[in-house]
Structure 1
Amino acid sequence: MGRNSLRFKLIVVLLIATIAPIVTSMIVTNAYTKQSVKEKAIQENTNLLGQSRINIVNYMNQLIDLSFSVYKNPSFIRLMDLGFRGYQSEAEIKNLIRTIAVNREVFQVYMNILERNPGEDRSFLLTNNTVIRPSPEVTMPLNPLIKPGSYEAVVETTHTSHDYGLSLLAYFTPREVLTIHRAIYRVPSMEHIGSLSVDFPLDTLSGLLHQLLNDQEEAYLLDSEGRLIYSSVPGVKFGWKLQDPWVEQMLQASDTHGTMEDKSSIHLYEKIETPYMNWYLVKKVPYEQLYRGARELTQIQFLILGILLFVVAGLTLWISVRFTRPIKELIGYINIIQTGQLDVDIQVRTKDEIGILARRFRLMMDTINDLITREYKLGLANKTNQLKALQAQINPHFLYNSLQSIGTLALQHQAPKVYHLISTLAKMMRYSMNTSESLVPLRKEVEHAKAYLELQQQRFENELTVGYHIDEATVDCVLPKMTLQPLIENYFKHGFDPRENPGELIISSRLLADGSVELTVEDNGRGMSDEALQELSLRLAQSDPAAEAADPGHLGESIGLKNVKNRLELHFNHTAVLFLEHREPTGLRITLRFPSTPLGGSTL
Structure 2
Amino acid sequence: MRRKVNIPFGYKLILPYVLCLLMAVLTVGLFAYAHSVNSLREKTRENLQGTLRQMRDNIRYRTDDIERITNSLYYNYSLQNALRRYDQGWYSYETMTKTLMPALENLLNYTASNIGLSLYLQNETLPEIFYKDEEQNPLLSTKRYEIYHLARIQDTDWYRLLQFSGTLPGLSRWQQILRDKEDGNISLLQRLDDVQRGKEIGLVRVSVQIRDLLDSVDYRKIGEYSTLVVLDASGRTVLQSSPEGAEEGNPRTAPDRLVLSEPLYGLGWQLQSYIPDSLFDQSAGEVRRMTLLVCLVSALVLAVLGIWVSGYFTRRIQKIVGSLNAFHDGDFHKRIRFKGNDELAQIAIAFNRMGSNMEELIHKNYVADLQKKEAELESLQAQINPHFLYNTLSSINRLAQFGDIDKLHIMVQELAKFYRLSLNRGEILTTVGKEIEHAKAYVAIQCIKYGERLSVYYDIDPEVLEYATVKLILQPLIENALEHAWFGTTLGIRLVVEKREAEIVFKVVDNGVGMNADTIRQILVPEGPRIGYGIRNVDSRIKLHHGSGYGVTIASRSGIGTCIQITIPCRM
TM range (shorter): 0.3 to 0.5
Which of structures 1 and 2 has the larger relative contact order (alpha carbons within 8 angstroms, sep 6+)? 2
Higher alpha-carbon Rg: 1
